[in-house]
Amino acid sequence: MAQVEQIESGLYKISGNLDFSTVSALLAQVQSLVGADNSEMKVDLSALDRCNSAGLAFLLELVADARRQHRKISFLSVPEQLMDLARMSNVEHFLLEE
């Protein structure tokens, strides 16, 4: 199971397992929390237990959504296992702070 909570305006924390069984529901949850807010979005990943390629695709979808809305997005406390997966897919630059 995975969940997202809004810590404060623009700051969200994702916890649990990001995998095929959790990402579609989580994407809908994030989109409803964020709504039309155009402020910078920060996503804290320190509470992730596990993330596979579906979870990485979910995070890349958040990046795409942010870009479509002209919003800056950054990821905080990216677990090393997730960075390894991103490196293998040559998309680690999307997860690094700008």
Angle at 81 between CA 87 and CA 71, to 5 degrees: 65
For residue 64, is pLDDT > 70?
A: yes
CATH number for the domain spanning 75: value is: 3.30.750.24
pLDDT in tens, 65-85: 888 888 899 999 999 999 999
The percent of residues in the chain predicted with pLDDT above 70, rounded, is 95
Per-residue pLDDT band at 97 (split at 50, 70, 90)? low
Instruction: Report pLDDT for 36.
Output: 62
pLDDT for 98 equals 53
Task: Indicate if the alpha-carbon torsion angle 60, 65, 70, 71 is positive or negative.
Answer: negative
* Structural domain boundaries, residue 25: 2-94
Number of domains in the chain: 1
Coil, strand, or helix at residue 9?
Answer: coil
Q: 79 near 45, Cβ under 8 Å?
A: yes
